[in-house]
Structure 1
Amino acid sequence: MNPDECMLAGLVHDLGAFYMIYRAAQYAELRMRPDTVSHLVAQWHESVGSSVLNSLRMPAAIVEAVNELDEKRPIPITLENMNDVVYVANLLAGDGGELVQPERSGNVNSALDAYRTLSADIRAQIMEMRTVYDSYGACERDGALSSSATLSDSPIPG
């Protein structure tokens, strides 16, 4: 699995919903009926998202992961493919606000607890990224980086 593709799939997983909301906002009658829009988005966001992602020529694995995100299935214990990564990441992000609540089999809390054990490591990596980002911003403000700077010039550890 390519971690960058997994991250991209997570970022675009609800692109169809955003596109539909954008388009619905262009029609006064739909702006006045938010419940109707919510229902339409919940029913159609995956297929609309697939069309948008395909038109953007996204890799097939990303389109597939987005398509399968809201399918009813047990929580995977081992992440075997991008579909699993995006699904579990979506659950860990707090799936209470999702458009469609997946029906789950098994003990959801125990399965998610296995992934939550990673939270300390994730927090440490976030702090490291913030430090690097802050130092990069400081270099840029101080004029240490020019417009011709390359990634090898940045303070990001190799």
Structure 2
Amino acid sequence: MKRLAGPLLAAALSGCAGLGSFEPATPPDYTGPTVNVADQAQQASGQLLHVFEMTQVDGRRLSSTSMATVRANQGRGFAVAPVALTNELPVRPARVRLQAATQYAAPILAMTNPTCRVQGEVVFTPEAGKAYRVAGRIAPEACEAWIEDLATHQPVTETVAGKGTKP
């Protein structure tokens, strides 16, 4: 089984790389105000993270917290530490793709433990002068993600929801 971990990780990363290049959340020609939207990676154990992230804005594919965490933790065996990214978004309505996912230190752990991954698009209209974060919940009954106001912790988008970690 141990021989599968390297090929599985390589296949996962090469599949992501083959989808095209990453772009900034703010288009290059935009010159107006921006707001910060932070991804969130919660340490559930030494081997498991719960990741809540923004992966696309208006169809532009973003570099993700999940991929940054995999790159930063290569060679650490069965230990994982989070690497959360942030994005600057224009102050205007946008369609954003959110994701909630379990992320294990090694692929073999994901094959033998409960997992979840849910993605979906929501409309997000940021307000100037505010900061936001992608929040969510990973539980046996549901996996969810939304964007919330960082100061008030109140949701500002609809929730993307899917099947929980219960088998």
TM-score by length of 1: 0.25
Structure number with greater CO (CA < 8 Å, separation at least 6) is: 2
Larger radius of gyration: 1
Higher helix share: 1
Higher strand share: 2
TM-score by length of 2: 0.24
